[in-house]
Amino acid sequence: MRIAVIPGDGIGTEVVPAGLEALDATAARFGLTLEFAEFSFASAGYWQRHGTMLPPDWEETLRGFDAIYFGAVGWPDVVPDHVSLWGSLLQFRRTFDQYVNLRPCRLMPGVRSPLAGREPGDIDFVVIRENTEGEYSSVGGRIFEGTDRETVLQETIMTRVGVDRVLRYAFELAARREAGHLTSATKSNGISISMPYWDERVAAMKDNFPGVRVDKFHIDALAAQFVLHPEWFDVVVASNLFGDILSDLGPACTGTLGIAPSANINPTRASPSLFEPVHGSAPDIAGQGIANPVGQIWCGSLMLDHLGHPEAAAHLLGAIEDVLAFGPRDAPLTPDLHGTGTTAELGHAIAERVRER
Ligand code: NAI
Ligand code: MG
């Protein structure tokens, strides 16, 4: 399997090596061949040298890979955030039609939830966000600007193809998971055209998956239930906007930003999918070697799963859980996990655990 590696900026360049070490250890353990090719584009340094975030042939360059393993992009002192983000990550998502954004929300051992009284195992769900259409469309405009009649319009776009393909992915995921439960985020009481359509497509898709238990919540109530009853959820599927909000709220309920992974997936495999931690380049701690590499390493597990190696993926995730469970006294956990370990030390500890467990 050929993997394009893009460390990007700031702590991206620190956590990616830890991620690669864990991937190498897992590949060796399971007899897999992972070939990494590293690229320096999609970074502030590249922008300073070339005046663009990406080379003109980036699409041909990346298209040949099986997956993209991404760190973080952004260095606001050098390049404005909207330039770095639109000039790189959002290009990848659109061009490669990565229509599923997947974020696991799992309370890991040794990690304190901001929700009182929650133990590891209590919270374990996945948010699936539609990643290409919905509320984030460029259809609309302004007229009568600067006058009393100033009018602004921005349309939500829901296509049958776009809605059905993300629902199908979410249902298939729910069907594979033990709980077999899918929750749909809606707001059909208030958004009276597009959201009833979303509900209709959920109801139609449900017929193909008789083994999956399905429910739906209005987004406002769902946000409250994420906090009050996170144990209710298994797979949560949502439109682009609702999914954006839930996919931050979910991981927030499970502790530090440093451990949260995400995947931008094109399930057709017609183009590569991209795996990146939820966090950014963290300029405030960059260069100190203390960034938590767990989000990046967990991304490796998601990537192995996507590439068709669920056992290797589960093994790597298990190694992460083991090391977190050792706690700050017995493992070199990073400062955000109340330890005194470094990025590299925690990375080594997880790779070592991959070899010995
Ligand atoms: P951030 O996620 O980089 O940092 C937020 C806070 O969390 C900081 O205090 C940081 O030290 C801490 N943090 C983040 N990751 C951590 C880790 N692995 N271990 C320990 N602590 C960690 O978000 P911020 O500061 O809003 O953005 C910084 C830059 O990153 C900006 O240029 C932004 O555009 C970019 N960014 C890029 C993303 C991406 O590449 N997908 C996502 C979010 C932000
Ligand atoms: Mg967001």
* Candidate from 53, 279, 296, 320 with most ligand 1 atoms within 8 A of CB, to mutate: 279
**What number is the average pLDDT over the span 110-114?**
89
What is the atom index within ligand 1 of the atom nearest the CA of 335?
20
Strands of 205-342 (E only): list them.
213-218, 235-238, 261-265, 273-277
In whole angstroms, what is the distance from residue 347 CA to residue 11 CA?
A: 14
Pocket flag, ligand 1, residue 264 (CB < 6 Å): no
Q: What is the pLDDT of residue 212?
A: 98
Distance 210 CA to ligand 2 centre (A): 32
Residues 6 or more apart whose Cβ sits within 8 Å of residue 206: 171, 212, 214
Q: Say how many residues make up the chain.
A: 357
Domains along the chain with CATH numbers: 1-99+259-357 (3.40.718.10), 124-253 (3.40.718.10)
**What number is the average pLDDT over the span 32-40?**
98
Q: Which band of pLDDT confidence, cut at 50, 70 and 90, is reported for residue 355?
A: very high
Pocket flag, ligand 1, residue 73 (CB < 6 Å): yes
Pocket flag, ligand 1, residue 260 (CB < 6 Å): no
Q: What is the pLDDT of residue 112?
A: 87
Q: What is the pLDDT of residues 136-161, one digit of tens each?
A: 988 999 999 999 999 999 999 999 99
Above 90 in pLDDT, residue 39?
yes
- CA-nearest residue for atom 8, ligand 1, is 282
Q: Which band of pLDDT confidence, cut at 50, 70 and 90, is reported for residue 118?
A: very high
Q: What is the pLDDT of residue 255?
A: 82
**ipTM for this prediction:** 0.98
Residue 62: C-alpha distances to residues 17, 38, 132, 300 (Å) = 20, 11, 20, 18
Q: What is the pLDDT of residue 104?
A: 95
Q: What is the pLDDT of residues 293-314, one digit of tens each?
A: 999 999 999 999 999 999 999 9
Q: What is the pLDDT of residues 323-334, one digit of tens each?
A: 999 999 999 999
Q: What is the pLDDT of residue 246?
A: 95
Residue whose token pair is 């699936």: 128
**What number is the average pLDDT over the span 113-132?**
93
- CA-nearest residue for atom 4, ligand 1, is 282
- Does residue 204 or residue 113 have the better pLDDT? 204
Give the containing element (helix H, strand E) for 194. Answer: helix 194-206
Q: What is the pLDDT of residue 269?
A: 94
Pocket flag, ligand 1, residue 282 (CB < 6 Å): yes
DSSP state of 55: -
Pocket flag, ligand 1, residue 87 (CB < 6 Å): no
Mean pLDDT score of the chain: 96
* Candidate from 70, 281, 342, 350 with most ligand 1 atoms within 8 A of CB, to mutate: 281
Q: Which band of pLDDT confidence, cut at 50, 70 and 90, is reported for residue 266?
A: very high
Q: Which band of pLDDT confidence, cut at 50, 70 and 90, is reported for residue 223?
A: very high
Q: Which band of pLDDT confidence, cut at 50, 70 and 90, is reported for residue 340?
A: very high
Q: What is the pLDDT of residue 256?
A: 81
Q: What is the pLDDT of residue 138?
A: 86
Pocket flag, ligand 1, residue 3 (CB < 6 Å): no
Q: What is the pLDDT of residue 145?
A: 97
SS3 296: helix
Pocket flag, ligand 1, residue 251 (CB < 6 Å): no
Residues 6 or more apart whose Cβ sits within 8 Å of residue 191: 156
Ligand number nearest to the C-alpha of 249:
2
Pocket flag, ligand 1, residue 71 (CB < 6 Å): no
